[in-house]
């Protein structure tokens, strides 16, 4: 504001602007009147965003919906999934805006939701139970998919035929083909990620449901053994079905390291520590890649294993502090080793298709690593520039704030948060009238007229985070633009942890 304005005018202007902002962006019941922890104000209602980021998963549910389902425009769907192979594969999540169940990203989503709760669940207060339910919806399905030894059902639905339709999941009439990996058609990346998900979730339920926790960890051990013994890429054996949708470009080595790291954490069995020590280099422990997402887990494994050294003092994993530091240095702006690209508005930019997944996963890793550094009184040295835990938190907060509206378009990329957010997301269920409004079946191709229209989606998929703006901070808000307008479970999963931390640190929880 201009310095020439009088003090009283300035106060009135500030008061009016603040009141207007709060009335639009922050529902009164969520906005805290007093900050108990730190006397600083937040630009965003992180608590409200946290609530919505978890609620989103209910909109992605497949199967028989429970009585406490809060996203009421969704109904039961996929109730015969698995019947083509005489197995029960009802449940789980649709990964994004279509009606296919892809096991690879579903498992990664479950792992990251679990990690969010493991690191920051203690801060979540009333949202912790909702986060646990979101995890359990994933693990219940993964338990079904891994019920047979040395077999994992990794996909339900024909992606090409599904994408040729624009229909609600409740109306689905495309083939529900079932794909599996086994000894003859291995899939180490999806198997090891599934093991990681089960192991991570076992830690979430260890105190609240020990019986379920033990089931999860026993299954994780078995599934990881299968992943490691029968090595091979599922993108090879099932290429025509899983590519280009969730083709693994980084290979399966990163998942084996990641899966072993989670099993070491969940079981404390020295066997996994030894596995990591013997196989770490071969599995890419010190590679210089700095992308973390559903395909490449190297960076996540490094950060997780550095915790075992920094917090649990496992000296044999000392090198992982160095590996993690290399990643951090490649990311933080202003250090001699920084390689990351940012938009003019300050958003981390990796690629045009679903870039926000890298923003949310990276922000989570920064906050988790900051936590580990703080607990061990350590810093990161980036070519002579010292990077503190506080700096990492600042970088992460800036990314989350951009996502929530601090950007050149003043748009929140989370649906339902703030006064301005995407109206035409690439999502079948959200874009088509719900069953209550239109009980009659909407045929496969007749939905495309709505998909191509400029009308806003009738069903608000609250909490959905879309792919986000391009490298110039532009966002057209078009349904046909799946690269920028499609939400996905693996975009939201790591954001849950970051929002819990930020809400707590600003006294909102």
> Among 42, 182, 85, 34, which Cα is nearest to 499's?
42
Residue 93, helix vs strand vs coil: strand
d(C-alpha 83, C-alpha 153), whole Å: 12
> Is it true that the peptide bond before 56 is cis, omega within 30 degrees of 0?
no
d(C-alpha 427, C-alpha 482), whole Å: 9
d(C-alpha 370, C-alpha 386), whole Å: 13
H or E stretch including 387?
A: strand 385-387
d(C-alpha 436, C-alpha 130), whole Å: 25
Please identify which of the residues 189, 228, 295, 486 carries the catalytic annotation.
486
d(C-alpha 220, C-alpha 267), whole Å: 10
d(C-alpha 478, C-alpha 426), whole Å: 8
- 95 in catalytic set: no
d(C-alpha 335, C-alpha 383), whole Å: 7
Residue 421, helix vs strand vs coil: coil
Q: Is 82 left (phi over 0), alpha (psi -120 to 50) or beta?
A: left
> Among 400, 414, 410, 418, which Cα is nearest to 31's?
418
d(C-alpha 205, C-alpha 221), whole Å: 16
d(C-alpha 306, C-alpha 373), whole Å: 10
The DSSP symbol for 208 reads T
- 477 in catalytic set: yes
Tokens linked to 504: 């707590």
- Residue 211 near residue 165 (C-beta atoms within 8 A): no
Please identify which of the residues 44, 298, 323, 426 carries the catalytic annotation.
426
Positions annotated as catalytic residues are 426, 477, 486
């Amino acid at each position: 504001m201009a310095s020439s304005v009088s003090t009283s005018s300035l106060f009135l202007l500030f008061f009016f602007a603040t009141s207007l902002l709060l009335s639009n962006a922050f529902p009164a019941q969520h906005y805290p009147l007093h900050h108990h922890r730190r006397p600083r104000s937040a630009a965003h209602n992180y608590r409200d965003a946290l609530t919505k980021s978890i609620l989103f998963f209910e909109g992605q549910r497949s199967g028989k919906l429970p009585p406490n389902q809060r996203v009421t425009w969704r109904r039961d769907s996929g109730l015969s999934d698995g019947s083509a192979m005489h197995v029960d594969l009802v449940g789980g999540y649709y990964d994004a805006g279509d009606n296919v169940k892809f096991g690879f990203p579903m498992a990664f989503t479950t792992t990251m939701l679990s990690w969010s709760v493991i690191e920051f669940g203690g801060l979540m207060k009333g949202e912790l139970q909702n986060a646990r339910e979101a995890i359990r919806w994933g693990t219940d399905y993964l338990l079904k998919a891994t019920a047979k030894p040395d077999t994992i059902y990794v996909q339900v639905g024909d992606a090409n035929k599904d994408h040729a339709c624009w229909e609600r999941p409740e109306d689905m009439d495309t083939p529900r083909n079932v794909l599996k990996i086994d000894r003859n058609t291995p899939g180490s990346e999806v198997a090891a990620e599934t093991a990681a998900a089960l192991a991570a979730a076992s830690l979430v339920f260890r105190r609240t449901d020990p019986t379920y926790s033990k089931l999860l960890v026993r299954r994780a051990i078995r599934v990881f053994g299968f992943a490691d013994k029968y090595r091979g890429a599922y993108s090879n054996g099932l290429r025509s079905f899983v590519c280009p949708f969730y083709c693994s470009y980084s290979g399966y080595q990163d998942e084996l390291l990641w899966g072993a790291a989670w099993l070491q954490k969940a079981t404390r069995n020295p066997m996994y520590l030894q596995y990591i020590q013997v196989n770490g280099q071969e599995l890419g422990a010190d590679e210089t890649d700095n992308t973390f997402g559903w395909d490449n887990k190297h960076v996540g494994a490094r950060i997780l294993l550095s915790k075992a050294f920094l917090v649990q003092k496992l000296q044999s994993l000392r090198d992982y502090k160095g590996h993690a530091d290399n990643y951090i240095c490649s990311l933080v702006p202003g250090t001699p080793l920084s390689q990351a690209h940012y938009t003019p508005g300050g958003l981390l930019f990796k690629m045009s298709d679903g870039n926000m997944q890298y923003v949310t996963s990276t922000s989570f890793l920064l906050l988790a690593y900051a936590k580990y550094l703080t607990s061990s009184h350590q810093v990161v040295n980036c070519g002579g520039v010292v990077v503190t835990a506080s700096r990492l938190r600042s970088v992460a907060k800036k990314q989350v704030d951009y996502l929530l509206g601090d950007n050149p378009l003043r748009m929140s990329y989370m649906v339902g948060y703030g006064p301005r957010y995407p109206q035409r997301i690439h999502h079948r269920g959200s874009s088509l009238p719900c069953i209550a409004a239109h009980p009659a079946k909407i045929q496969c191709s007749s939905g495309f007229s709505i998909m191509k229209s400029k009308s806003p989606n009738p069903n608000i998929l609250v909490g959905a985070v879309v792919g986000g703006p391009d490298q110039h901070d532009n966002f057209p808000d078009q349904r046909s633009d799946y690269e920028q307008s499609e939400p996905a479970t693996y975009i939201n999963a790591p954001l849950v942890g970051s929002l819990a931390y930020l809400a707590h640190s600003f006294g909102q929880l």
